[in-house]
Structure formats: structure tokens, C-alpha cells
Amino acid sequence: MKKLIKNGTIVSVTNGTFVGDILIENGKISQVAKHLECEDAEIIDATGKYVLPGFIDAHSHIGLYEEAVGSMQDGNEMTDPVTPDVRAIDAFNPYDIAIKHALNGGFTTVMIVPGSANVIGGQGAILKFKSNIVDYCILKAPAGLKMATGENPKRVYGEMKKMPSTRLGIAAVMRNYFMKVQDYMEKKRRAIEKDGVFLDRDPKMEVGELVLKGEIPARIHAHRAQDIATAVRIAKEFNFKLVIEHGTEAYKIADYLAENNVPVVVGPFGFRTKIETKDLTYDNVRILNEKGVLTAIMVDHPVHHLEFANMHAALAMKYGAKKEDILKMLTINPAKILGIDDKVGSIEPGKDADVVIWSDDPFLPHARVEKTFIEGNETHWWGENE
């Protein structure tokens, strides 16, 4: 059925803000204009409301680190520093009540990733909050290989008295893995060339092959500037696409990131919990934008709840970030980082009708989500209806 959203303050992200209408047909945004008519459409009155694209979280552990389950978490397979074969979708629980709250916060799309205990942590996936069956939520899987530098793998494996227990060891584990992937790819090539078939598949290597072929990026957890530089160095050595996760000290080397076209999913902001975050500052957001680094904001759910990501983002304006930049960092920028900006991230004809109606400007603390549409369907969390 067609839907016509009328008289809302449309925050399109890419084509300005204006009072107007949005026509939704077959799950897509069909038309956007200051005035539209459609006799057979369901009319949704958005007078006095703000209408935005669904927010996008480019780095989340929602559904993996669930609310109210204590230590029963599924985010890290802490038995081996190299676990590229594990997949976030196999642990994702659509009945995590945090998903209800994320919808209340205007989020419609997330990139879920394993935690950062392992140097090679596993496969992330891009999901929409549109079903209680994870397979129906998937936009892309795998969508990235989660990796980690710094204190987390040092702590986990140092306590086990095994490698890696230092930054030296972490970089070595990364290089060893990708060298093995290179050898595996050559072995496969020769086998297919000789016999027409390769019968020695290794799931750990297959994922690395996707990275080295440029089909998915490496998503590398790195807080300190030195760790970010190490991630860039290794990405250049093996010629793979890289996204920096967290980037707490990215502002210190913003020119270097811009020079190498490395995007950053920055955050969370809050209490400085460990040595890697002692130089945390909201100035990071402003500086990265000013230097031309493609940047998205995350709250590292469940470190901070996804429901309040708009408020965490708004705080960056206190430190000089521009409102229009902050908005992009919750919408079109994460869409670009995830490679889905042809589908989501702005209100434009032809894109998926992932549209959220807010009671007021979403950067105001009293603003509430009143209606959420994903691919044109009004969406409510399914957990309360079971």
C-alpha cells in the first residue's frame, strides 16, 4: 500500500531541510516534494513533526551483548586470538530488549560485530530491525572482518600466558594470518588451474580471502594513535580496505587518516575507563570532520545505550562540531562506510523507505520517536507481542 507522509519538517540530509511530503511505494521512497497528492495512499499527518532517515549504527554489539542476561554473553570467542570463522549473525538475538529501545532512538540499521578480545575476532553483518528472524534482517553478511589492536587482546591472552601479550605480538598475529591467507589463495589458484577444483577449503582462510580481494573491509578496533597507525601500516602492506573502530586518538593523526582515505567510526564518549582512553575528547568529532575524514558516530552499544546515541552525538556541538555534520555522522556517513548509501542514509527518491517521524528536532532531549518505517512498513519491536 502507498503511504503519503504530509506536512512534516523533512530533514533529507543530502538535499536540505524543508516542510513537505514523502510518497512511499513498494517499500521505496517514490517522491519527495513540498506538496504531493496521491488519492489511493494512506495519509500520515506529520504536521509539526520532524521526519528523518532512519539512523545507522556502523559499530554495535546489540543482540550479542544482551540486556539483563548478566555474564551469558556471546560477543567474544575467547579461546584463540584468531577466530575469523565465527559469525555475529549466529549469536544475534532479535529478542534482546535493547532492540526495542534502539527503535525508540530512531535506529533502523546496524552493523553488528564481535567484541575486541581477539586479534582476528570474526565476521560482522549489516542488519535492519525488521524481523524476529535474523536471516530476514540481513542486508549483507559477512560485511566486514572485525579485528583488534591494543589493550584488549593484550589483556585476554597475556593473562593466559600466550601470544599476543604485547603490541608487538598483536601486529605479528595479524601479519601471520594474512600471509597464510596469501599462501592459501595461491594454493587454491594452482589447484583450480591444474584440476579445475579446490578440495581443501579452510573457513578461517576463506574470510581472509574476502578481505584481500577487497570484497569486505577489515574493521580494526584501535584507540591510541600508535595503534591506528599500525592498522593503517598493515592494511597498506596487504592492500586491504580498512575502517578504524573507536579512534579515540584519531584526531592526533587526522591528516594521516585523510591522506590514506581511512574512515573512522568514532566513540564511545564518556568515562575514561582505561589507559587507551585517557586522551578522549569530543573535539575528535570536530577535528576529523574539519580534516575531511569520513566519520560516523557510535556509542559501542551496550557501553552506552543506542537509544541515546542522538544525545551523545549532540554533545559534540558543545565542542564546536556543526549540527549538519553530526546529523551526517548518524545517517549518510555510516551508510557510506558500510557501502549501503545507495539504499539508506538520506531521504531521496529511489532509496529504501526507512523513515522516522520525531516529535521534535532529534537533538533536543525531549524529542521522541512517534513512528518508524522500515522499507515502508511501520515497525514495532516484536518481543512484546509474543
pLDDT in tens, 302-341: 999 999 999 999 999 999 999 999 999 999 999 999 999 9
Name the phi and psi angles at 123, rounded to 5. -95, 130
Reported in sequence order, the residue ranges of the chain that DSSP labels E, i.e. its strands, are 3-11, 17-25, 28-33, 42-45, 50-53, 55-60, 107-112, 120-128, 138-148, 218-222, 242-246, 264-266, 295-297, 355-358, 369-374, 377-378
| pLDDT reported for residue 71 | 63
pLDDT in tens, 220-253: 999 999 999 999 999 999 999 999 999 999 999 9
| pLDDT reported for residue 67 | 86
Give the three cell numbers for residue 241. 580496505
Distance CA 191, CA 172 (A): 28
pLDDT in tens, 103-159: 999 999 999 999 999 999 999 999 999 999 999 999 999 999 999 999 999 999 999
| 156 Cβ neighbours under 8 A, 6+ residues apart | 76, 78, 117, 118
Question: What is the average pLDDT across 38-48?
Answer: 95
Distance CA 371, CA 350 (A): 21
Residue with cell 573491509: 217
Give the domains, in start order, of the chain with CATH numbers.
Answer: 1-53+345-385 (2.30.40.10), 55-344 (3.20.20.140)
> 386 pLDDT exceeds 60?
no
Distance CA 126, CA 217 (A): 13
Mean pLDDT: which of 60-69, 70-79, 147-156, 377-386 is highest? 147-156
| pLDDT reported for residue 185 | 98
**Quick one: how many helices (H) and strands (E) in the chain?**
11, 16
| pLDDT reported for residue 69 | 76
| pLDDT reported for residue 272 | 82
Q: At what angle do helices 203-212 and 167-195 cross, to 10 degrees?
A: 90
C-beta of residue 110 within 8 angstroms of C-beta of residue 88: no
Distance CA 386, CA 380 (A): 12
What average pLDDT does the structure give for the chain? Answer: 96
Distance CA 126, CA 141 (A): 7
What's the start-to-end Cα distance of the chain, in Å?
26
Distance CA 223, CA 252 (A): 11
pLDDT in tens, 247-292: 999 999 999 999 999 999 999 987 788 889 999 999 999 999 999 9
| pLDDT reported for residue 385 | 58
Distance CA 345, CA 363 (A): 17
Cβ atoms within 10 Å of 65's Cβ, excluding its own: 21
The SS3 assignment for 59 reads: strand
**Confidence (pTM):** 0.96
Question: What is the average pLDDT across 74-96?
Answer: 96
Cβ atoms within 10 Å of 123's Cβ, excluding its own: 26
